[in-house]
């Protein structure tokens, strides 16, 4: 928790007021046994009803003041803890937005979800309880012991001896429970990851009739989580019975010894009543302390997990903002680019090796190759979704690693391989990169993307609400909305990662024709599986096993590149031009 102290500073006022009112409540609670003893000794024993009435009214007043101060403590503690938790969640979300793909892969999305939800709740609840219980319980405990010692030293020593035994027991329980709480959170990560994966792939599961298999896989991780949670719950459950058992034994001892002292006249009956009340208060405060210590142990694990995320440095570091930055996106150049996911320069680990590309404004560079050859990885290097392992990528003569990420990515429109749409209207999805766009601009982008006609036929038009990931649209419709989203920002560089795979041939031809008019001053990187999609490109790169196997126009490659010819034969069943070795 100490590492998260900076998030407490804005709520320091509430953190001062909450304990202050709690200490006042404790003071009023400590008065009650003394007032009860006064009623017994000077009211009930001597049958003085006026003393009973006056003291009883005083006890009611004290109880009312305790209620008011307790409510105020809860109000201020809640404001501090809830805002504290909200700030941490926002900080975690903001931090994750800066992560590169490598960072997300390291943590796993399920684990990040657990840290932003369950772990934040743990530290938030600890602060809430801390501002109340960590003030109330120790104050009530210490105050009750002091008052008990003042009433009768010998009886107080019995209470002190009991407390020493209890502290030893609690230390042992906490020592053994902390590692278990850490395991609980890691098992919860696995459960969340499995749920997220299954929900994302629910169509595949149903299509291949694998519901039973996936249910069994989930049952295994859920059982692991359940078993560890039960072990943790056992430690938590031991707290209250152990504290109650020891303190009840103390209470019986006090009653036996104190009753004997009352019978011989060494202790007044009212003092024994007050002492018993203080023992009960010690019992309640100890139960509260033991629960708090368990929460401290749990929240300590959660706080470490939160700090791991907040302390993580993105693999891709942003460059410092630059004044008078001249970056028009008129040229992109890749020089001797090599890449591996683990950052190794070992040739056997390289996904891409010695890639050289130069593209200028108005040119279309098409990239084609077998599945898994590295095409998508290559274009993801241009907006720095990953960083090159060696070599360099330049935009307008400047290494992109020296450019601010915001400025770099503003100049690149990217249509991803998977058409991801957000919950919201179609208009909101198209205007995602330019929220201030007018309706006319949105419709123009949709027309270019060949999406306007089908959108207009929908009952709500551009205001049609989309479900999660656009589930109420077909694959081709989602692709066209994704294309419109990228076109709306009018980027000087456009990356299309197999973004026409779900379109029929007629729609694809119409889209290519429309793009040739509106994107004539744009550098376009076009990844495609079909030769028909790349045949008109000024330059076609053939990628094979992470290296460039050929480059040139369609006609040139049909004469000089065996890999390209093989792709052509697989799609058209014949050779257009004989291969020349």
Q: What is the CATH number of the domain that holds 532?
A: 3.40.50.300
Q: What is the CATH number of the domain that holds 290?
A: 1.20.1560.10
Is 546 a domain residue?
Answer: yes
- The percent of residues in the chain predicted with pLDDT above 90, rounded, is 15
- Contact present, 181 and 298 (Cβ < 8 Å): yes
Residue 127 phi/psi, 5-degree rounding, is -65, -45
Q: Per-residue pLDDT tens for 433-489? A: 888 999 999 999 999 989 999 999 988 899 998 877 777 788 888 889 999 998 998
Q: Which of 375, 379, 398 is nearest to 523 (CA)?
A: 379
Residue 239 phi/psi, 5-degree rounding, is -55, -60
The residue among 443, 463, 490 that closes a domain is 490
- Contact present, 462 and 439 (Cβ < 8 Å): yes
Has residue 575 got a pLDDT over 60? no
Q: What is d(CA 296, CA 493) in angstroms, rounded to the nearest whole number?
A: 52
Q: Which of 231, 246, 240, 107 is nearest to 178 (CA)?
A: 231
Count of structural domains within the chain: 3
Q: Across residues 105-133, what is the average pLDDT?
A: 82
Does residue 127 sit in the same domain as residue 16? yes
Does residue 405 sit in the same domain as residue 429? no
- Name the E strands within 320-449: 331-339, 352-360, 364-369, 390-395, 398-399, 412-415, 424-425
Does residue 246 sit in the same domain as residue 392? no
Q: Per-residue pLDDT tens for 151-184? A: 777 777 888 888 888 778 777 777 777 778 778 8
Is 106 a domain residue?
Answer: yes
pLDDT of residue 579: 38
Does residue 251 sit in the same domain as residue 172? yes
pLDDT of residue 51: 80
The parent domain of residue 26 ranges over: 2-182+233-311
Burial of 237 by CB count in 10 Å (0-12 exposed, 13-18 middle, 19+ buried)?
exposed
Residue 413 phi/psi, 5-degree rounding, is -100, 130
Token representation of residue 198: 């299954």
Does residue 358 sit in the same domain as residue 435? no
Residue 207 — pLDDT band, cuts 50, 70, 90? Answer: low
Q: Per-residue pLDDT tens for 234-257? A: 777 776 677 778 777 877 887 787
Does residue 166 sit in the same domain as residue 254? yes
Is 272 a domain residue?
Answer: yes
Q: Across residues 91-118, what is the average pLDDT?
A: 82
- Contact present, 389 and 382 (Cβ < 8 Å): no
Has residue 8 got a pLDDT over 80? yes
Has residue 98 got a pLDDT over 80? yes
Is 502 a domain residue?
Answer: yes
Has residue 223 got a pLDDT over 60? yes
Beta-bridge partners for 220: none
- Name the E strands within 247-304: none
pLDDT of residue 337: 93
Is 573 a domain residue?
Answer: no
Residue 540 — pLDDT band, cuts 50, 70, 90? Answer: very high
Does residue 340 sit in the same domain as residue 451? no
Does residue 46 sit in the same domain as residue 77? yes
Q: What is d(CA 107, CA 309) in angstroms, rounded to the nearest whole number?
A: 8
Q: Which of 67, 85, 55, 84 is nearest to 29 (CA)?
A: 67
Q: What is d(CA 48, CA 460) in angstroms, rounded to the nearest whole number?
A: 82
pLDDT of residue 438: 92
The residue among 279, 311, 343 that closes a domain is 311
Q: What is d(CA 140, CA 165) in angstroms, rounded to the nearest whole number?
A: 19
Is 465 a domain residue?
Answer: yes
Does residue 255 sit in the same domain as residue 372? no
Q: What is d(CA 220, CA 421) in angstroms, rounded to the nearest whole number?
A: 32
Mean pLDDT rounded to a whole number for the chain: 83
Q: Across residues 207-234, what is the average pLDDT?
A: 81
Has residue 338 got a pLDDT over 90? yes
pLDDT of residue 249: 82
More confident residue, 373 or 287: 373
Helix (H) or strand (E) holding 540, with range, is: strand 539-544
Q: What is d(CA 63, CA 31) in angstroms, rounded to the nearest whole number?
A: 9
Does residue 124 sit in the same domain as residue 254? yes
Q: Per-residue pLDDT tens for 487-526? A: 998 889 999 888 777 777 788 888 888 888 887 888 999 9
pLDDT of residue 203: 63
Q: What is d(CA 31, CA 281) in angstroms, rounded to the nearest whole number?
A: 12
Q: Which of 517, 485, 480 is nearest to 500 (CA)?
A: 480
Q: Per-residue pLDDT tens for 27-54? A: 888 788 778 777 877 777 777 788 888 8
Is 560 a domain residue?
Answer: no
Is 41 a domain residue?
Answer: yes
Residue 367 — pLDDT band, cuts 50, 70, 90? Answer: very high
Does residue 34 sit in the same domain as residue 113? yes
The residue among 473, 490, 507 that closes a domain is 490
Residue 367 phi/psi, 5-degree rounding, is -125, 125
Q: Which of 158, 118, 132, 358 is nearest to 247 (CA)?
A: 158
Does residue 407 sit in the same domain as residue 354? yes
Q: How many CA atoms lie within 13 A of 344 on its CB side?
A: 7
- Contact present, 352 and 374 (Cβ < 8 Å): yes
Lowest mean pLDDT among 92-106, 314-328, 351-365, 402-416: 314-328
- The percent of residues in the chain predicted with pLDDT above 70, rounded, is 95
């Amino acid at each position: 928790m100490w590492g998260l102290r900076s998030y407490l500073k804005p709520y320091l006022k509430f953190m001062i007021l909450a304990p202050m009112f709690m200490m006042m409540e404790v003071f009023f609670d400590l008065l009650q046994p003394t007032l009860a003893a006064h009623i017994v000794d000077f009211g009930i024993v001597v049958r003085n009803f006026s003393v009973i009435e006056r003291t009883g009214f005083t006890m009611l007043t004290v109880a009312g003041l305790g209620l008011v101060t307790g409510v105020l403590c809860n109000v201020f503690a809640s404001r501090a803890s809830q805002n504290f938790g909200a700030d941490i969640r926002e900080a975690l979300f903001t931090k994750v937005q800066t992560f590169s793909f490598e960072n997300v892969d390291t943590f796993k999305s399920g684990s990040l979800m657990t840290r932003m939800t369950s772990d934040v709740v743990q530290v938030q609840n600890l602060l809430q309880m801390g501002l109340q219980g960590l003030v109330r319980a120790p104050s009530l405990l210490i105050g009750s012991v002091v008052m008990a010692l003042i009433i009768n030293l010998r009886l107080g020593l019995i209470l002190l001896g009991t407390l020493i035994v209890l502290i030893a027991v609690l230390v042992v329980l906490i020592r053994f429970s902390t590692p278990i709480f850490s395991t609980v959170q890691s098992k919860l990560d696995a459960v969340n990851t499995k749920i997220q994966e299954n929900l994302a792939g629910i169509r595949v599961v149903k299509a291949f009739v694998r519901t039973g298999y996936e249910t069994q896989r989930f049952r295994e991780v859920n059982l692991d989580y359940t078993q560890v949670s039960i072990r943790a719950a056992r430690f938590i459950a031991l707290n209250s019975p152990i504290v109650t058992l020891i303190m009840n034994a103390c209470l019986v001892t006090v009653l036996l010894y104190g009753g004997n002292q009352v019978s011989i006249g060494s202790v007044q009956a009212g003092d024994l009543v007050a002492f018993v009340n203080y023992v009960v208060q010690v019992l309640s405060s100890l139960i509260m302390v033991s629960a708090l210590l368990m929460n401290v142990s749990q929240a300590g694990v959660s706080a470490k997990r939160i700090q791991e995320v907040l302390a993580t440095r993105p693999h891709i570091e942003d460059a410092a903002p630059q004044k008078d930055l001249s970056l028009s996106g008129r040229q992109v150049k890749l020089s001797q680019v090599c890449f591996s996911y683990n950052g190794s320069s070992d040739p056997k680990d390289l996904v891409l090796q010695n890639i050289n590309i130069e593209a200028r404004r108005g040119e279309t560079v098409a990239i084609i190759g077998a599945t898994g050859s590295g095409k998508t990885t290559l274009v993801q290097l241009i907006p720095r979704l990953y960083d090159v392992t060696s070599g360099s990528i330049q935009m307008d003569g400047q290494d992109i690693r020296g450019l601010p990420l915001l400025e770099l990515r503003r100049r690149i429109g990217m249509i991803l391989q998977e058409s991801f749409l957000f919950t919201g209207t179609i208009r909101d999805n198209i205007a995602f990169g330019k929220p201030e766009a007018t309706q006319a601009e949105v419709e123009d982008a949709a027309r270019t993307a060949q999406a306007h006609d089908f959108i207009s036929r929908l009952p709500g038009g551009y205001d049609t609400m989309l479900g999660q990931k656009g589930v109420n649209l077909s694959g081709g419709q989602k692709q066209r909305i994704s294309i419109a989203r990228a076109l709306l920002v009018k980027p000087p560089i456009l990356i299309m990662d197999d973004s026409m795979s779900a379109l029929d041939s007629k729609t694809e031809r119409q889209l290519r024709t429309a793009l040739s008019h509106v994107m004539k001053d744009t550098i376009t990187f076009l990844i495609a599986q079909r030769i028909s999609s790349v045949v008109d490109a000024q330059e076609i790169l053939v990628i094979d096993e992470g290296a460039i196997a050929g480059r040139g126009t369609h006609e040139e490659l049909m004469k000089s590149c065996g890999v390209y010819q093989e792709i052509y034969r697989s799609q058209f069943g014949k050779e257009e031009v004989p291969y020349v070795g």
